[in-house]
Structure 1
């Protein structure tokens, strides 16, 4: 949860300077389908490198925290990239900066995708993604991502892989969260650090944005390219398909052998693009020289 006194309190001027730096750092905000957790975590690293400790706000839809609902955050894809025309988020997360204004400390969300003008009070951020029965948590910045389960927190027992003894979860949720299926949070360490989830997530967004600009945008209004546009939307507009092909080198029911054969050359080209972006983000993270 949010530890009192851990996040840095800054002036409005300092918050504005940090926001400008965030906008100018090359963070891939243009692909809206996924990876808000990686963008948020990188922003927290960027701020920490300047001795500013941020927090995070996590918003969960019923589609994530309960097995009995499919309700998610849903909005029109302005880039016309999604195969359905909509973008769906089961959750969303943004960094939070504590800003002193007229003697009061205000929790401000940093989300250039939803609010490109600057930080906004976190309740304004929640209003923008308003969904029925949305719940939120304010958390320390080091919590990178969360686990979910078909069992809720009152039913689930935590076990160490080395023993049969139950162990405590990383995060003790408030009592009103007890019946939710978001079961625990974890830090950017162990497997996530070893396999560069952060850098690969940012590279996914970079590569998808590049694919959109170079391959999809020029044919959006070309009736003769409708079949190709459908394939490209299936590939890039669905982040699970995109990650399957470019990050994981795998197949699924849409990204099947026939699809690979039809688009072998461009898949090979953008796998190289993806790998280049991964190395770029590894270098940028290494240059920051910190972990949360």
Structure 2
């Protein structure tokens, strides 16, 4: 029995050693697609806030920011960017934490997609991401007299999360994560026919379509060119959550087919976005048609609200 116990413990420790989140740093890039090497500066002790204030920040985002945190099919970089702008307004120093599916880091990594349950409960199965990003603050720990990084991600929790808690929620034990300054908005990936400049010569890289889109280390800073995509995604997410809570959740068992059709549409971010923007149309028999005018109007109002906020 003792022999088997020791063997189990050794095996468990071995698995732990090879199934863990991997922190990495980005200190070089080739400047692909106009991106640059992102910067990172550690938070200082004077940047730390109390746990009470950290809790209040989460409540602020949930109750007063007018942001939606329940529709998480798309757009985490946009939520994180707007949260960062709001923290800047409150003069609270912070970072962003970026977590990646390991296959976006190197070809020798197996895919281990981040996955979460749908907070709205309308998507069958899990929601899968190849990356996720959120804001990080420094919090004072009165019991240990030390400061610790906490993640504010109201999509996951109504309380600040430790780094390990935040990573664990995403169910990708081999993920790779890094901390960056908050102004970095999005990143570049190598895709089929990507162009790269080496020795002042531009070349297209031939990549099979079956390969993952690996990050290059190049990032883009937030700027005015991002206003429209950010406002659009925030507005779409708001309509997804509102329609789900106001209509889909209130349908009874006799409307099961209608519920299935609406759930499929609203759990597909790109499809409902195209409908709300007027880029695509639905079959005349689709049940959303009776609500379309109302929610397109609501989408436009939300879009204009966020465009105004971002321009300010």
2:128 is the counterpart of 1:99: no
Q: Equivalents in 2 of 1:127, 1:75: separation in Å?
A: 10
- In structure 1, the residue matched to 2:184 is 143
1:199-210 equivalences in 2 (<5 Å): 199-210=231-242
Select the residue among 18, 37, 62 that pairs with 1:23: 62
Equivalent residue for 2:222, pick from 188, 202, 211: 188
| 1:49 alignment partner, one of 89, 95, 103 | 89
Name the CA distance, whole Å, in 2 between partners of 1:206 and 1:112: 15
Aligned to 1:169: none
Partner of residue 225, structure 1: 255
Counterpart of 2:246 in structure 1 is: 214
Query: Which of residues 18, 30, 40 in structure 2 aligns to 1:2?
Result: 40
Q: Report deviation, 1:54.
A: 1.4
SS at match of 2:196: coil
Hey, what's the Cα distance between the residues in 1 that align with 2:195 and 2:112? 23
1:4 Cα shift? 3.1
The aligned residue for residue 239 of structure 1 is 269
Q: 1:261 to 1:113 in 2, by over 3 A?
A: closer
TM-score, reference length from structure 1: 0.77
CA contact (8 A) 2:113 2:129 kept: yes
Aligned to 1:60: 100
Report SS of the residue matched to 2:174: coil
What is the CA RMSD across the aligned residues, in angstroms? 3.0
- Distance in structure 2 (CA, Å) of the matches to 1:94 and 1:259: 40
Q: 2:299 aligns with which of 259, 274, 283?
A: 274
Q: 1:64 to 1:240 in 2, by over 3 A?
A: farther
Tell me the CA shift for residue 136 of structure 1: 0.7
Unmatched 5+ stretches in structure 1: 167-178
Tell me if the contact between 2:191 and 2:213 (Cα under 8 Å) persists in the aligned partners.
no
Q: Counterparts of 1:69 and 1:211 in 2: how far apart (Å)?
A: 37
TM-score of the pair, normalised by structure 2:
0.72
* Deviation (angstroms), 1:261: 6.7
- C-alpha change, 1:233 and 1:2, in structure 2 (3 Å) is same
Aligned residue for 2:114? 73
The CA deviation at 1:50 is 1.1
Q: Which residue of 2 aligns with 1:250?
A: 279
Gaps of 5+ in 2: 1-38, 203-211
Query: How many angstroms apart in 2 are the aligned matches of 1:40 and 1:133?
Result: 23
2:150 aligns with 108
